[in-house]
Amino acid sequence: MKFLRSNAGFSLLEILIALTLLGIAGAFVASKVLDNLQEGKVEAARIQIQRLGGILDEFKRHCNRYPTTEQGLSALLEKPTAVGGRECKRYRPGGYIKDGKLPLDPWDNEFIYESPDEGRTYTIISLGSDGLEGGDGFDADIVSSDL
């Protein structure tokens, strides 16, 4: 009696090699997708900072100065108290942000606002994906003065 042996199937070794190659390709694609996602978040942070800058310019047109560091970005939501006898008499009723909430950066952290010269200039900072000061790549700080 003669048994017929079929060579139509794959050996276990061939299947394991194919799965390994698929895993490597999948890891490469996933890393590229994650890099693109992070690049998108960095660009979104830049756009948000620029948008906040435009809102701050409008605040300055009405109040003749930017909010102080102490007043912060919350001055865009509620009329800030007078600083050094200077009060904003033309403050827009209802504030400068329509939905009444300060935006968060794409990593769900608050933007840092500084005005070291009592409202003459300002800096807005997002601490990047790591949420820590400094860093490289996607962890680097995004600063309004660099845009």
Can you give the pTM of this predicted structure? Answer: 0.82
The identity of residue 26, as a single letter, is: G
111 touches 51 (CB < 8 A): no
pLDDT at 60: 97
Distance CA 9, CA 47 (A): 55
- Per-residue model confidence as pLDDT tens for the chain (147 residues): 565 565 667 888 889 999 999 999 888 888 888 889 999 999 999 999 999 999 999 999 999 999 999 999 999 999 998 877 778 999 999 999 999 999 999 999 999 999 999 899 999 999 999 999 999 999 999 999 998
Domains of the chain, residue spans:
51-146
pLDDT score, position 1: 55
Q: What is the CATH number of domain 51-146?
A: 3.30.700.10
